[in-house]
Amino acid sequence: MRARNPEYVVDVAIGSNHSRGTAIDVTLMDEHNNVLDMGAGFDEMDDRSHPYHPSVPPHAQRNRLLLNAIMFGGGFVGIGSEWWHFELPNAASYPFLTIVSPVFR
């Protein structure tokens, strides 16, 4: 079993911005509910997951840029290690949630 890389996985004892309700993991789907190719899998913990990694094919990079445009236009910011992760500016300044919410697709 591989050790958890802190670049991608936060210690649950510390919590993450997801635990504050200020972060979301998201991808894009086409009109037929097919997930668009982003050049690396959702939650793939590899350098190819970095938003602007040079090994990502041009068509997947365009999909990432489209996702960025949508999310940045909505006021979110990205992080350098995960193309799918977006959060509110100053996300860490919010308190941790004390409720559990469902995951939606």
Residue numbers annotated as active site: 82
Contact 10, 20 (CB under 8 A): no
Give one DSSP letter per residue of 42-88, joined into a string: TT--SGGGSTT-TTS-HHHHHHHHHHHHHHHHTT-EE-SS-TTEEE-
CA distance 91 to 23: 7
